[in-house]
Structure 1
């Protein structure tokens, strides 16, 4: 039976898109996949491309007038459209290509609803722009509750490091205060942002420029904000043109402690 999402809300569209993409990613896992070289050591697989096509189909059916920016298919519709969806069909492509299941499917409406799906756990983390929730089959939706109790901090160590030499995320791990307060993790996928919102991580740190309109980060940023996390650039400015990179922390204390360490490393 074909399901129509035309009358459902944006969160339902985001969830449906993320789940549809996750189904593709899961079904193609372990296959010998064609790889598409994107230059500078980056690549996509046939699973990335197929998942994005599927997600676009869900959005097109539900919101035919909306624009979509996808990592693989680029821009469809006006780039300055009021309603634009940002799609990262498979975040963690290298993990996926070598048989590592730490990947995410990200779907976000700019400044609105968003969903992050874990294809292998079956979890979907989503927000309507106001509250953030976790959904898994067989259980009631659970409100996301950030906490720093795990003391686990994910740090994106993938080059390049645009903040160098002033700051590199890897330098944070050498700060003596870091090992006193936290334990590092390197997931290499923005699934870690959903984990901050869900209380599975205390914080997430990555270098970079303006990430507010990044297909990789938009959904995770939306989740963290809706869950009540403290979200800024690594310079402490709001994420966007003024801020650079990303620091998402479960609470103000964790955010302040990490900011002090990063400033001292500079």
Structure 2
């Protein structure tokens, strides 16, 4: 029996999440990558499980994986973007703030997006312009809200827009602190939380085109009705990079103003 792209993405993320749960708490050797980045056996095995699921159903699709890079023989019109364990450092020190991200870029847009929380048994997914969270097999619509006033700031390098913009400087900005309460969870699960109404916004620097880390979260937020732009207020990937994903226009406008003020002060 054939499986549609949405259900395939959910199944693939679920396969990765099962591996992440299975390795949690075990001694994990760190496999060095560029700079201070590293992977663990959980990253490697979770990506393997995801790729096996995708390959079984879509053998001709391209896949861009965090650990294995670009694989597949197909054309460039369909590419799966896979981050098997976003929050590796959290996970390695037995902190459960992590996610498994799978997205499909087809026809020049992200048509399927899945962000699985391995430890809360939640799967955030988007497809055909709708966004849901699945708990115990039941789908509920994602509803953004800025009520919490919690804003996640990604403080991990690299910072391509430095010195004009640095997320850490927002932590000492009185305008920011009067309006919001900062959080730093160091996983793009927080982007899905914006779509779900658990965060007012998420802000990061970085080059995000075809990003295995951010593609799923951006698509989730857009499908849920959030305001999502780069740091210049333009569509993601069209400007100098970075991301502002906000629950509503007012929250987005305030954060965009704070970013612009940083640049003007430099």
- TM-score bracket, shorter-length normalisation: over 0.9
Determine helix, strand or coil for the equivalent of 2:83.
strand
CA apart distance, 1:137 = 1.0
Aligned match for 1:219, one of 211, 216, 220 = 216
Partner SS, residue 173 of structure 1: helix
Distance 1:170 1:162 in 2: 14
- Which secondary structure state, in structure 2, belongs to the residue aligned with residue 39 of structure 1? coil
Q: Which runs of 5+ in 1 are unaligned?
A: 1-5
After TM superposition, list the pairs within 5 Å mapping 1:16-165 onto structure 2.
16-77=11-72, 81-110=76-105, 111-137=110-136, 140-165=138-163
Deviation, structure 1 residue 159 = 2.1
Looking at structure 2, the residues matched to 76 and 231 of structure 1 have their Cα atoms a distance apart, in angstroms, of: 29
TM-score between the two structures when normalised by the length of structure 2: 0.94
Counterpart Cα distance in 2 of 1:88 and 1:53: 11
Per-residue deviation, 1:79: 8.5
Structure 1 residue aligned with 2:195, among 185, 194, 197? Answer: 197
CA distance in 1, matches of 2:45, 2:13: 13
Tell me: CA distance 1:252–1:45, structure 2 relative to 1, closer, same or farther (3 Å): same
For 1:94 and 1:223, how far apart are their aligned partners in 2?
A: 24
| Residue matched to 2:233 | 236
The structure 2 residue matched to 1:264, chosen from 248, 261, 265, is 261
| Deviation string, structure 1 residues 86-139 (Cα, Å, up to 9, x no partner) | 00000000000011000000000012101100000000000114100000116x
Q: Secondary structure at the match of 2:219?
A: helix
Q: Provide the alpha-carbon RMSD of the alignment.
A: 1.3
Matched, 1:248 2:248: no
Verify: 1:166 aligned to 2:164, yes or no: yes
**Residue 241 of structure 1, CA deviation:** 3.7
Output one character per residue of 1:125-175: Cα deviation in whole Å (capped at 9) or x when no partner: 00114100000116x210000010110000001123211111101112221
Distance 2:136 2:84 in 1: 21
C-alpha separation in 2, matches of 1:172 and 1:63: 44
Unaligned 5+ runs, structure 2: none
In the other structure, the counterpart of 1:3 is: none
Alpha-carbon distance in 2 for matches of 1:180, 1:161:
25
Question: Quick one: distance in 1 between partners of 2:60 and 2:128?
Answer: 20
- TM-score, normalised relative to structure 1: 0.94
Shift >4 Å, 4+ stretches = none
Measured against aligned partners, the alpha-carbon deviations of 1:24-77 in whole angstroms (never above 9, x if no partner) come to: 000100111232100300000000000000000110111111110000011002
